[in-house]
Amino acid sequence: MKNYRENLVGVFGDPVDENPTGAIEQAGFDYLGLPFRFLTIKVKEGDLEDAVKGMRAMNFSGIGVTMPHKQTIMQYLDEVSKDASIIGAVNTVYWKEGKLFGENVDGKGFMMSLKDNNINPYGKKIVVLGAGGAASAIAVELALAGAKHITIVNIEETQGERLVKSINDNTESEAEFNLWKGTYTIPEGTDIFINATSIGFVDGTQCPDVDYNSYGKDTVVCDVIPNKTTTLFLDKAKEKGCKTINGLSMLVNQGTLCFELWTGEKAPLEVMTNAVKREFNITD
């Protein structure tokens, strides 16, 4: 008998109109011929509880979660992962053993990019610029993977200190906070240096206020900006001979993780990478 029902997934957020996730995930579904439909859904701040009840009632296979709901949604789920609990945010929801389960794949996508480049963060000294959602997820995953020391650099003190405390209280890694005032000098011996801010996303001529002469040639430099294959931040690192990792790969890896949690199938990496490039008009 022919089945006309599609498995529903999507993203909850507000604003959400310009979120490209649906194009990326749908490309994968269609390529594999899976009966999945991605919906980009505007959910206002006070309507999240009803939205979660609705996805339960309509048997959604899962949902992505973006601002302003990443923290609030945790109270409406049956269970959340250890790392999502430490991060204090969920961005992916799926069914696990009959329970609505919350996960955070931001940091996991970053960790996959490190692995793809044969980089193991265990025992490493790491500096992270920023203390927002992406920075928190990345820093916590690095700590759980055994990073020796993590320095959080942020222009706002409270947010940065909160992240440092969370890492020190819940992992074996040692974390410290540096207030970002003026030009930041990268500490000697830094193994991995990460821009986890949004600087450079809208205006490609901008880059973080860093002393780029303080790069060590053995430092691995990463940028979470997803809409380019390189950034000015990464270009300056390449000039110093550093290995670099872009945010495009991290975004695709996050997408493949969601895909596999929702469908149980291996994600078509190349297809989804090409979909991201089309959405951002990337030709190289």
Catalytic residues, which ones?
70
Strands of 149-154's sheet, edge to edge? 174-179, 149-154, 125-129, 192-195, 220-223, 243-245
Q: Give 118-181 as a DSSP string.
A: T---TT-EEEEE--SHHHHHHHHHHHHTT-SEEEEEESSHHHHHHHHHHHHHHSSSEEEEEE--
Contacts (Cβ under 8 Å, ≥6 apart) of 98: none
In eight-state DSSP terms, residue 202 is: S
Are 105 and 141 in contact, with CB atoms under 8 Å apart?
no
- Torsion angle, alpha carbons of 105, 52, 43, 227, to 10: 10
Contacts (Cβ under 8 Å, ≥6 apart) of 90: 65, 70, 71, 73, 74, 77, 80, 84, 102, 103, 104
CA distance 43 to 267: 27
In eight-state DSSP terms, residue 92 is: E
